[in-house]
Structure 1
Amino acid sequence: MNESHLSYLASPAWAETLRTDLLPWLRRVADLGDDVLEIGPGPGLTTDLLLELAGRVTAVEVDQDLASGLRERLHGRNAEIVHGDARTVELEEGRFTAGTCFSMLHHMESPRAQDELFVRLNDLLRPGAALIGVDSVDSEMIRQGHRDDTYVPVDPDTLEERLHAAGFAEITVHRPNTHQFRFTARKPAA
């Protein structure tokens, strides 16, 4: 992640946007349960919100420095910060009451990698658990913000099909504005 992008994701302005926009949506769309998995927390502002809504959060971060910083910052809270690739990191299958991906899918190296993550998330969630996510709609402005970054936009028009192929059901994808889409899905109940 480039420095300006990372700085923004750790800023008070982004924290306020998350609190006033993302948090109310999360409260409306699903009961997260007591053991939430977060993929790609970055500096952890979304992790802070999840800790308000769930009993426990396990956050998987691929960047060693970000994972270490978040682990240190959240020490003593009900959060486990795991450094690794969520597609391969050792976690108990069927454990989590919800999974979340907030503005991180486009940082994966390919659509195939994104699809592998969806399959892995389906394995890690309990039957009936929700998958909840947000990502950016591809635009020149978003591309400029990701200069010198990995940027592989997710096409919201194909996301439902991709999540279904990974084993999810009850999928919704919607665009609350021109620069973002949100999605929910559910692992089928056993």
Structure 2
Amino acid sequence: MNAVAPNIVGVIASSNTLSRTSTAVRGVLDGAVASGATVQMVELATTTVADAIDAIDGADGVVLGCAVYRARHTATLASLLESVERCQYGETRAPLMSTAAAIVMGGASENHSLASQSLERALNSFFAVRLVSPPLYPAQSDYIDATTLTEHAATLAQRAGGPLAELAAAVRSSRHLARLEPQI
């Protein structure tokens, strides 16, 4: 790890605070802390999109968390991503470009566990994000209650945080990884 700890921001794209999504994202952030990262959480239910983008812009890594509705990520997350500049067509910044990221999506059942694929493609190609794979998909059965993951799910969430912290540090310190730009 670099001498300077990577800064990881968890973004919760939910209309509710203290949601299952925020619980799972907190688990990933706990794993990042255990690997030496500093972390903060931004809940779009209580934060403006502009403030969330500013937090992302200052981060080495990001955890994007949302529920799955109709086999897709939430409109809240889509709205955030529509507002993120890419340093293209006269834009002045690119908060997600060459940023390490992990995805946390959850739903009522395991049936929508592949819903993250369209989000992964957009983050990888459109924003040039470096993704930790696989995405974390806790289903309803992975929670004891809205604020507590089962032991197995908590372990999986924490295991995603370590690689995210390491990838964020690697991208930040690399001459080449940090220069990759969106191809679309």
Scaled by the length of structure 2, the TM-score of the pair is: 0.44
Higher strand share: 1
Scaled by the length of structure 1, the TM-score of the pair is: 0.43
User: Which protein, 1 or 2, shows the higher relative CO under an 8 Å CA cutoff with sep ≥ 6?
Assistant: 2
